[in-house]
Amino acid sequence: MRGDLTLVNIGELVTNAPGAADLVGAIADAAVVIRDGFIVWAGAEVEFPDHYRDLGRIDCEGRAVVPGFVDAHTHVVFAGDRADEFARRLDGETYEEVLASGGGIRATVTATRTASDDELEAASRRRLDRMLANGTTTAESKSGYGLDVDTERRQLQVSARLDAEHAIDLVPTFLGAHHTPAAFADDPDDYLGLVIEEALPVCAPLARFADVFCDVGAFTVEQARRVLLAAREHGLDIRLHADELDHSGGARLAADLRAASADHLAYVSAEDAAAMAEADVAAVLLPSTTLSLRSQRFAPGRMLWDAGVTVALGTDCNPGTSYVESMPFVVALACLRNGLRPAEALWAGTRGSALSLLLDDRGTVTPGAVGDLVVLDLPSYRDIPYRLGLDVVWKTVKRGNVVFETA
């Protein structure tokens, strides 16, 4: 439901206004007006228009306000738990050893296939509730834990139900080419035939994007190209898991196909970055995954930013390698491990992520944008990386309605 709301006594307002000298368009002593769910005015409070003074208001008491966080990469709809596997990896087992024993993605596929729709929805709703409490107002939602036609479809249908009922807007992505299921282990191309000929016709009407895991141990560049071109024929925009585990060519494929984004990118090269910038492919950084995997090779955010690539952020919320639901935590990690400055990381987790999802109406506090805001329990956005791990959200506002507030 769209609401009317005024926020006043804002100590620092981040607008992400285009062309701002400080990148984030920060305004001190500010106010914001939301009418019918959309921003209609934002600026210094001394310039507040008189005709908006009768609207319901929130006194922010000097706190900072930023655009709602946009989580550009999640696998939020799944069943099961892999905490035991995480502990085994900490004890020294490799992912390949865990996979061979029936763990890894295969464990999640089994749990997701056997869960009912109601069970999937309930578990995913709890995750979304925690994301909302951390200021996320829009998130991508991938399938990819079915690896069969029926469960891939059910994951996307659960995403649609949650999108309709939950405060967070969900952007659905079909990830049938996430991994080769055990039944097709000897011939991944046969599985891709199923993805293209059977799953895409059923799942494409439920999705906005298609994605492929293009990397070592997953699918090759040519296999990914085959799936993504077929997805385009079904009207889907495309994105890729790319160059996470090795320099496998995924980022260059994303540039060649002018995909919306290439995600992960630990092994992306300067030449890849130049191609991505030229093709307007966003780079979605997922530092919490790298941290969870205890890898020392974080995506080169500084290099990508300086190359002119649109940089975005995501939690990669998933049961195996990044069970993370907090975008402020990811913003902090992007500063500490990807080489971004605080203003760049905040922009990446709001405006950059929105652009990577082809959503031009959010990630900014300017007239015409969706009225999604986060009132931080902090004096400045710079405190997000400074106070790593703190619960930073005082209130989350979605389309002009307060949808989360601390007790």
pLDDT in tens, 319-359: 999 999 999 999 999 999 999 999 999 999 999 999 999 99
**62 pLDDT band (50/70/90 cuts)?**
very high
Q: How far apart are CA 275 and CA 258, in angstroms?
A: 10
Mean pLDDT of 5-27: 97
| pLDDT one-digit tens code per residue, 377-387 | 999 999 999 99
Q: Which of 136, 213, 134, 137 is nearest to 173 (CA)?
A: 213
Q: Please determine, for residue 259, whether its predicted confidence score (pLDDT) is greater than 90.
A: yes
Q: Which of 9, 20, 6, 24 is nearest to 66 (CA)?
A: 24
More confident: 386 or 102: 386
Q: Please determine, for residue 361, whether its predicted confidence score (pLDDT) is greater than 90.
A: yes
Q: Please determine, for residue 76, whether its predicted confidence score (pLDDT) is greater than 80.
A: yes
Q: Please determine, for residue 17, whether its predicted confidence score (pLDDT) is greater than 80.
A: yes
Instruction: Report whether 375 contacts 397 (CB < 8 A).
Output: yes
Q: Phi-psi region for residue 85, left (φ > 0), alpha (ψ -120 to 50) or beta?
A: alpha
Q: Please determine, for residue 401, whether its predicted confidence score (pLDDT) is greater than 80.
A: yes
Q: 3-class secondary structure for 311-375?
A: EEECCCEECCCECCCCHHHHHHHHHHHCCCCHHHHHHHHHHHHHHHCCCCCCCCCCCCCECCEEE
Q: HSE of 239 in the Cβ direction (CA atoms, 13 Å)?
A: 30
Q: Phi-psi region for residue 375, left (φ > 0), alpha (ψ -120 to 50) or beta?
A: beta
**49 pLDDT band (50/70/90 cuts)?**
very high
Q: What pLDDT does residue 94 have?
A: 79
Whole-model pTM over 0.95: yes
**404 pLDDT band (50/70/90 cuts)?**
very high
Burial class for 281, CB neighbours closer than 10 Å (0-12, 13-18, 19+): buried
Q: Please determine, for residue 44, whether its predicted confidence score (pLDDT) is greater than 80.
A: yes
Q: What pLDDT does residue 334 have?
A: 98
Q: Which of 234, 238, 290, 232 is nearest to 265 (CA)?
A: 290
Q: HSE of 102 in the Cβ direction (CA atoms, 13 Å)?
A: 2
Q: What pLDDT does residue 101 have?
A: 79
Q: Please determine, for residue 55, whether its predicted confidence score (pLDDT) is greater than 90.
A: no
Largest CA-CA distance found in the chain, in angstroms, rounded: 70
Q: What percent of the chain has pLDDT over 70?
A: 100
Instruction: Report whether 354 contacts 360 (CB < 8 A).
Output: yes
Q: Please determine, for residue 286, whether its predicted confidence score (pLDDT) is greater than 90.
A: yes
The β-bridge partners of 138 are 70, 169
Q: Which of 210, 173, 207 is nearest to 192 (CA)?
A: 210
Mean pLDDT of 126-139: 98
Residues near 189 by Cβ (< 8 Å), separated by ≥ 6? 223
Q: Phi-psi region for residue 172, left (φ > 0), alpha (ψ -120 to 50) or beta?
A: beta
Q: For residue 315, how far is the Cα from the chain centroid?
A: 6
Instruction: Report whether 321 contacts 85 (CB < 8 A).
Output: no
Strand, helix or coil for residue 102: coil
Q: Which of 365, 267, 363, 379 is nearest to 71 (CA)?
A: 363
Residues near 39 by Cβ (< 8 Å), separated by ≥ 6? 32, 33, 365, 366, 367, 368, 369, 370, 371
Side chain identity at residue 166, one-letter code:
H
Residues in the chain: 407
Q: How far apart are CA 191 and CA 202, in angstroms?
A: 16
Mean pLDDT of 30-46: 97
Side chain identity at residue 69, one-letter code:
F
Q: Which of 385, 361, 386, 365 is nearest to 374 (CA)?
A: 365
* Mean pLDDT computed over every residue of the chain: 96
Q: Please determine, for residue 66, whether its predicted confidence score (pLDDT) is greater than 90.
A: yes
Instruction: Report whether 199 contacts 230 (CB < 8 A).
Output: no
Return the residue matching tokens 């300067």: 270
Please give the backbone phi and psi of residue 95, each rounded to the nearest 5 degrees, phi first: -60, -40
Residues near 152 by Cβ (< 8 Å), separated by ≥ 6? 143, 144, 146, 174, 176, 199, 202, 203
Q: For the chain, first and last CA: distance in Å?
A: 23
| pLDDT one-digit tens code per residue, 77-99 | 999 999 999 999 899 887 778 87
User: Can you say whether the dihedral through the CA atoms of 316, 207, 237, 229 is positive or negative?
Assistant: positive
Q: Please determine, for residue 270, whether its predicted confidence score (pLDDT) is greater than 90.
A: yes
